[in-house]
Amino acid sequence: MKISDNKATISFSNGDPSFEMPVYKGSIGPDVIDIRKLYGQTGMFTYDPGFLSTASCQSAITYIDGDKGELLYRGYPIEQLATNCDFMDTCHLLMYGDLPSVQKKKEFTHIVTHHTMVNEQMQFFMRGFRRDAHPMAVLTGLVGGLSAFYHDSTDINNAEHRDISAIRLIAKMPTMVAMAYKYGIGQPYVYPKNDLSYAGNFLRMMFGTPCEEYVVNPVLEKALDRIFILHADHEQNASTSTVRLCGSSGTNPFAAIAAGVACLWGPAHGGANEACLNMLGEIQRNGGVEKVGEFITQVKDKNSGVKLMGFGHRVYKNYDPRAKLMQETCNEVLAELGLENDPLFKLAKALEKIALEDDYFVSRKLYPNVDFYSGIVQRAIGIPVNLFTGIFAMARTVGWIAQLNEMIADPEYKIGRPRQLFTGSVRRDVPAADKR
Ligand code: CMC
């Protein structure tokens, strides 16, 4: 963070003295105005619900240029990472700042692979849930529950604890997501197998049974690995900011990540992939491609409350680069499974085409986001719709951890404590019970 020669001055029309604030430059992206002394000097707060113009921290992990539609992890374009690297490379990159050497990757993969089992007791913890519980409800509980099982890695101020909890979270998320699935359908849990890749192991834990050997399909394995890479981090989005805010109190890493899982669940965030597929299913049931025009009219009617799920983004005002890569993967997976004529894929393409030509979407710069195609890929792989957000959580875990650890190492790290514009009642006295 460099101080710029430029300075910002805030002045007031009521004649109060003006106030000068420093401006900082990042390596790329917009400059920021440091308003930290504003309250002390002027007695005023800034007001920015939704953080439309507020940088909540400095970070060197992920950069998004929303106008260009560019996404960089530690400087590397997402297209290159998705094409030339795998998820283990990406995890190493996000956590430690650079892509691993061949030897480092071996060591990193080994340590992740050897932490995939969960404490056997977690099976009994699972039994407290209803079989029809939403997997995100189960996951929120299980991730938070890790702090009850791994007492030796709960001190956020201890670097060794942070390291081992990070590995445990990345390694155990697939096991817990698969357990949530198996529990829901009443099948036995499948233990992790150490000679498989991260994605291959997850596929086996999901779709294998103790009755026969499970053979991993390399096309599906690669597709899943790409889903993980594309979802691994996305700078200060709602769930990442939640993890940072939660962790800023000094709570343990498992608790902070559980808060991220809970936040991700919402349909405006990670829940959009589930909502998007449900939307496509609904249009399909009501007449399919023929009804796309009617649906778009509904979306454009502000009173309908209907949104085109998988479209729009707070930061991207251009095509989400992850959506392009996801569409490519979608083609590969559907071809592999002989589902090229999948009606939902056709429907998604028709919706996208109409929306990209429609003035409502063009004028608001609404483009497909990553969730528009990821649901179709996951459904083709056999992942149930209500588990989509769980897959997102699994992939985002590394980003949450990298961001949490970056925050703790930041010398400017403080407990997060936003202020407010109070609009409630001024001071009043409690009336007697018979006068209320
Ligand atoms: N369908 C219809 N209209 C939309 C949509 C949409 N999907 N998204 C935004 N708009 C309209 C919105 O009504 C507003 O119109 P107006 O200016 O006339 O009031 C305008 O576009 C700007 O939208 P906004 O709500 O101010 O934008 P935001 O930055 O607050 O919201 C968003 C971003 C992602 C929550 C929103 O675009 C949305 O709800 N999209 C659908 C859900 C979705 O796909 N979410 C996944 C995001 S990507 C994955 C992730 O990060 O988890």
Q: Residue 322, Cα to own-chain centre: how many angstroms?
A: 13
Question: Token pair for residue 97?
Answer: 């700042």
Write the single-letter amino acid at 350: A
Asked whether the predicted pLDDT for residue 263 surpasses 90, the reply is: yes
3-state secondary structure of 246: helix
- Compute the distance from residue 53 Cα to the ligand 1 centre, in Å: 17
pLDDT in tens, 204-237: 999 999 999 999 999 999 999 999 999 999 999 9
The CB of 237 under 6 Å from ligand 1? The reply is: yes
**For residues 157-166, average pLDDT:** 91
Question: What is the Cα–Cα distance from 227 to 221, expressed in whole angstroms?
Answer: 10
Could you tell me which residues are beta bridge partners of residue 334?
A: none
Active site residue 371: yes
Ligand 1 probe mutation, 354, 364, 391, most atoms within 8 A of CB: 364
Could you tell me which residues are beta bridge partners of residue 143?
A: none
Q: Which ligand 1 atom is at minimum distance from the Cα of 237?
A: 51
The CB of 269 under 6 Å from ligand 1? The reply is: yes
- DSSP category for residue 209: B
**For residues 326-348, average pLDDT:** 91
CB of 399 within 8 A of CB of 240? yes
For residue 232, the model assigns a pLDDT of 98
In terms of Cα–Cα distance, which of 356, 256, 346, 348 is closest to 312? 356
**For residues 153-171, average pLDDT:** 92
For residue 93, the model assigns a pLDDT of 98
The CB of 37 under 6 Å from ligand 1? The reply is: no
Ligand 1 probe mutation, 283, 362, 369, most atoms within 8 A of CB: 369
Question: What is the Cα–Cα distance from 250 to 206, expressed in whole angstroms?
Answer: 34
pLDDT in tens, 347-376: 988 898 998 999 999 999 999 998 888 989
**For residues 268-282, average pLDDT:** 90
Orientation of helix 371-381 relative to helix 218-231, angle to 10°: 150
- Compute the distance from residue 364 Cα to the ligand 1 centre, in Å: 9
Per-residue pLDDT band at 15 (split at 50, 70, 90): very high
Ligand 1 probe mutation, 53, 298, 314, most atoms within 8 A of CB: 314
Asked whether the predicted pLDDT for residue 121 surpasses 90, the reply is: yes
